[in-house]
Amino acid sequence: MKVTVVGAGNVGATCAQIVAEKNIVSEVVLLDIKEGLSEGKALDLWQTAPINYYDTRTVGATNDYSKSAGSDVVVITSGVPRKPGMSRDDLISINAGIVKSVTENVIKYSPNAIIIIVSNPLDVMTYVAYAVSKSSKNKVLGMAGILDTARYRAFLAEALDVSPRDIQALLMGGHGDTMVPLPRYTTVAGIPVTEMLDEETLAKIIDRTKKGGGELVNLMGTSAWYAPGSAAAQMVEAIVMDQKRVFPCCVKLEGEYGLNDIFVGVPVKLGKNGVEKVMEVKLTADEQELLVASAAAVKEIMDVVDGMNIL
């Protein structure tokens, strides 16, 4: 199995490191447009193999997609991150062109690859990669839901003073302030969280989750990478190990949840064929309304990309 990560910056390098350390693939290729960056990071990573005890070979190449040929999974992290005061949507004019050209190169050398998008604005960049790759909808998906639920679970674990491992949660919608955490589907080792936290505390945690990316941008001046890199690596693992894990991921909907031709986060089953099933859970009228509003916010930005005439 071979995995390529495009973009050897903060998220890409972290993802490559975690995939390599999991020791689940024979090769991880890192690609970046910046001369020497991916070669340097791949070499540095390879020198951690004897220390961290894994065999996965890490290889770097500056913009040479032939090195990525025959990849089973490709993670696209190339693009600019936001700075304080910006929204993810503000990145569209730069990142749409980057994701387009990267996807063209990726698909040329790995026509059967499953493509995981990380670049922002996430849902719309997944749409761009899907349109450019002309791949099937099960093979192009976006990483956001694992990250957003991880934030939600981490905040809940803190408030309840329990292990984050015991918190199971579901969150749907776009990767923006309209995302829809679902307390009704959130449990602590099977116990509904609504029985363990009062409404006000839960509402504060949900609000902090929705603004979780921005909180980190304000602290660091650029966006997060440890949790995003880990989340993308978890998706890679589910696919290459054919784990059939259920995660919220950004996928193309064709009628599920009453939504059509839109890319938003929903729970899916991930295995060797990529998105093997979209899980349709029952939503209340209020929850459905929030999901529809979130999808509408994504559609607005999809329309902006359509107006750019690059697809």
Ligand X SMILES: NC(=O)c1ccc[n+]([C@@H]2O[C@H](COP(=O)([O-])OP(=O)(O)OC[C@H]3O[C@@H](n4cnc5c(N)ncnc54)[C@H](O)[C@@H]3O)[C@@H](O)[C@H]2O)c1
Determine contact, residues 68/83, Cβ cutoff 8 Å: no
Q: Does 41 bind ligand LMR (CB under 6 A)?
A: no
CA atoms within 13 A on the CB side of 123: 32
CA–CA distance, 32 with 89 (Å, rounded to integer): 23
Binding of residue 38 to ligand LMR (CB under 6 A): no
CA 308 to chain centre: 24
Pick what 95 binds: ligand X, ligand LMR, none; C-beta below 5 to 8 Å, kind-dependent.
ligand X
Exposure string over 104-142, b if 16+ CB within 10 A, otherwise e: ebbbebbeebbbbbbbbbbbbbbbbbbbbbebeebbbbb
How many Å apart are CA 170 and CA 141, to the nearest integer?
A: 17
Contacted entry of ligand X, ligand LMR, none for residue 217, CB cut-off 5 to 8 Å set by kind: ligand LMR
Counting contacts by CB under 6 A, is residue 224 touching ligand LMR?
yes
In terms of Cα–Cα distance, which of 102, 147, 98, 79 is closest to 4?
Answer: 102
| Among candidate residues 113, 185, 116, 164, the one with its CA nearest the CA of residue 144 | 116
Decide if residue 10 touches ligand LMR (CB under 6 A).
Answer: no
CB closer to ligand X out of 36 and 192: 36
Q: Does the active-site annotation cover 175? A: yes
Q: Which is nearer to ligand LMR, 159 or 220 (CB)?
A: 220
Residues 6+ apart with CB under 8 A from 38: 8, 30, 31, 32, 60, 61, 62
* Chain centre distance of CA 49: 26
By CB under 6 A, is residue 213 in contact with ligand LMR? yes
In the bound complex, what is the minimum distance in angstroms from residue 33's beta carbon to ligand X? 4
Cβ atoms of residues 45 and 59 within 8 Å: no
Catalytic residue among 175, 252, 269, 299: 175
- What is the footprint of ligand LMR within residues 88-127 (CB under 6 A)? 88, 120
Site string for ligand LMR, 140-169 (x = CB under 6 A): -------x----------------------
Q: Which of ligand X, ligand LMR, none lies near 208, with the C-beta cut-off 5 to 8 A by kind?
A: none
Residue 3 is a binding residue for ligand LMR (CB under 6 A): no
The token duo for 3 is: 């995995």
Residues found near ligand X in the complex (CB under 6 A): 6-12, 31-34, 37, 77-82, 91, 95, 98, 101-102, 118-120, 122, 143-144, 147, 175, 222-225, 228
Whether 12 has a binding-site annotation, put simply, is yes
- Chain residues that interact with ligand LMR, rule: CB under 6 A: 81-82, 88, 120, 147, 175, 213-214, 216-217, 223-224, 228
Q: Which residues are annotated as a binding site for substrate?
A: 82, 88, 120, 151
| Residues annotated as part of the active site | 175
